[in-house]
């Protein structure tokens, strides 16, 4: 009994600490937007000389894409409850299979089978709902940690990206601070082009499974 009570107390304390960190993270994350210029000035103390040393802003963005991909993947690996994620994916798989069975039973007009499927689906959805809150918290936790680190870097790129013209494949010469669709600046488009494939490679090297 004492061991069980101690384990519950430890789990409660862990949940409280995680909740406090996430709350503080969200507060800092949204509050920092108001001080974007100040934060980017502080970041420029480090990233300004770093960018000058590289001598090319596109290469700077490429290096930052590697760094952000590395630490975001590492944070996700060590803060995600993978057992819970696997359980969620298993529920989704069961629901998809039941949906196929339901459509077959409906085509056959098999009412007894439809009834059994509906009952089973309700049971699965009920069990899934029991841990949906914890699942959402597990998905939010790494996101908060990642944004706390990443937002200052993006603030710096937004404030200090040069207006140089760059020749992009297929779309021609564009200014880095000019806007693409949905008011996405071209420096951010370049970051996304670099980041997505690099992050996939990093995740595979670290053995990180998909959360979807």
- pTM recorded for the entire structure: 0.69
The token duo for 65 is 């894409």
Taking residues 28-54, report their average pLDDT: 83
* Rg from Cα positions in the chain: 24
The token duo for 19 is 């909740």
Least confident of 25-34, 121-130, 181-190, 203-212: 25-34
Angle at 199 between CA 29 and CA 46, to 5 degrees: 55
End-to-end Cα, the chain, rounded Å: 38
């Amino acid at each position: 009994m004492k061991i069980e009570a101690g384990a519950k107390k430890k789990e409660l304390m862990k949940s409280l600490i995680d909740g406090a960190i996430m709350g503080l993270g969200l507060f800092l994350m949204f509050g920092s937007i108001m001080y974007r210029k100040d934060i980017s000035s502080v970041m420029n103390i480090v990233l300004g000389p770093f960018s000058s040393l590289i001598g090319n802003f596109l290469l700077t963005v490429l290096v930052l894409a590697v760094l952000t991909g590395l630490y975001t993947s590492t944070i996700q690996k060590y803060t995600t409850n993978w057992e819970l994620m696997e359980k969620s994916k298993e529920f989704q798989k069961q629901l998809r299979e039941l949906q196929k069975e339901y459509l077959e039973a409906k085509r056959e007009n098999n009412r007894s089978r439809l009834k059994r499927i509906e009952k089973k689906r309700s049971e699965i959805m009920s069990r899934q709902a029991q841990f949906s809150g914890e699942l959402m918290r597990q998905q939010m936790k790494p996101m908060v940690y990642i944004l706390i680190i990443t937002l200052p870097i993006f603030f710096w790129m937004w404030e200090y990206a040069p207006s140089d013209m760059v020749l992009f494949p297929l779309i021609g010469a564009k200014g880095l601070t000019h806007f693409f669709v949905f008011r996405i600046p071209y420096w951010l488009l370049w970051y996304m082009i670099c980041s997505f494939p690099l992050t996939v490679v990093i995740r595979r090297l670290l053995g990180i499974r998909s959360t979807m």
